[in-house]
């Protein structure tokens, strides 16, 4: 388990293409970065980020996605792992679209969590019922 920073940066000069970058130490946010967050498990955080933006993937090796900064920053901030947001661009912090996208992703994650919780309960009930049936 590696700890470190994840941040979203523009990927070259192509519009609406972002790259997910990682760093072990971050003194200050690089130019053009919308959000920087410290994660205690980088690999799991990258997996969760990819799960939210998997349909927008352009290049897996560069971790390049065709998405705007608002959507990508919301996906990074809505990761349901222990993390600490260390930088958020002022324009993004004031954006109601970013807040709405983050809230929408949190709601989606909670729905999936409730579904799996209920599946676990149903599985346990079936296990108890089958153990009580006579052979």
Band the pLDDT of 49: cuts 50, 70, 90. very high
Q: pTM for the complete prediction?
A: 0.83
Band the pLDDT of 97: cuts 50, 70, 90. very high
Other CB atoms closer than 10 Å to residue 43's CB: what's the count? 11
Q: Do 92 and 70 meet the contact criterion of CB atoms below 8 Å apart? A: yes
If you average pLDDT over residues 34-52, what whole number do you get?
93
Q: Where in the sequence is the domain holding 102, given as residue range(s)? A: 4-132
What's the structural domain count of the chain?
1
| pLDDT at residue 27 greater than cutoff 80 | no
Give 92: exposed, middle or buried? Use CB within 10 Å, 0-12, 13-18, 19+: middle
- What per-residue confidence (pLDDT) applies to 52? 92
């Amino acid at each position: 388990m590696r700890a470190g920073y994840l941040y979203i940066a523009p990927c070259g000069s192509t519009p609406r293409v972002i790259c997910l970058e990682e760093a072990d130490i971050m003194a200050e946010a690089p130019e053009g970065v919308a959000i920087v967050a410290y994660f205690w498990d980088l690999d799991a955080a990258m997996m969760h980020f990819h799960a939210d933006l998997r349909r927008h993937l352009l290049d897996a090796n560069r971790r390049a996605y065709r998405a705007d900064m608002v959507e990508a920053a919301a996906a990074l901030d809505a990761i349901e792992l222990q993390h600490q947001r260390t930088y958020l661009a002022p324009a993004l912090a004031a954006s109601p679209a970013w807040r709405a996208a983050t809230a929408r992703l949190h709601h989606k994650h909670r729905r999936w969590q409730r579904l799996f919780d209920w599946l676990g309960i149903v599985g346990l009930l079936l296990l108890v019922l089958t153990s009580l049936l006579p052979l």
